[in-house]
């Protein structure tokens, strides 16, 4: 199992450009999450999908949109990138069912995004 995969690993954008960050998990998890991590900070939740077919805003959703394409894939789109969106973006997933391990989140390796 690959776990949670993210593409691309690195990206440089100019202000105003758009891009989509891709995330996929092969663990048959129900819930998926997008976080951003700024230097010296913990993770902040951007959007999440508690189950296939649903998406909801997290703590810092402005400037982002998401799509839960199917149970495996959850993408994050920046429509018009701004320098304030320079960050490391992490995708995570969680089963949400099945007892003891239901709440554990599994993280991808991250996408390092720079907006000039």
Partner 1 sequence: SQQGEEDPQALSIQEGENATMNCSYKTSINNLQWYRQNSGRGLVHLILIRSNEREKHSGRLRVTLDTSKKSSSLLITASRAADTASYFCATAPRGSGNTGKLIFGQGTTLQVKP
Tell me which residues touch partner 1 (CB under 8 A): 4, 31, 33, 35, 40-45, 48, 50, 56, 58-59, 90, 92, 94, 96, 103-110
Closer CB to partner 1, 29 or 78, in the complex: 29
3 torsion bin: left (phi>0), alpha (psi -120 to 50), beta (else): left
Closer CB to partner 1, 67 or 105, in the complex: 105
- Provide, rounded to whole angstroms, the least separation between the CB of residue 114 and partner 1: 15
Contact 47, 56 (CB under 8 A): yes
């Amino acid at each position: 199992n690959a776990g949670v995969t993210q593409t691309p690993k690195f990206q440089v954008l100019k202000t105003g450009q758009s891009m989509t960050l891709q995330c996929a998990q092969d663990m048959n998890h129900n819930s998926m999450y997008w976080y951003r991590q700024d230097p010296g900070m913990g993770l902040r939740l951007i959007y999440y999908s508690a189950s296939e077919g649903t998406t909801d805003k997290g703590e810092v959703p402005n400037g982002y949109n998401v799509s839960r394409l199917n149970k495996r894939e959850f993408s994050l789109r920046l429509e018009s990138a701004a320098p304030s969106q320079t960050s490391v973006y992490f995708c995570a997933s969680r089963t949400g069912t099945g007892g003891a391990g239901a709440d554990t989140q599994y993280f991808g390796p991250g996408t390092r995004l720079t907006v000039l």
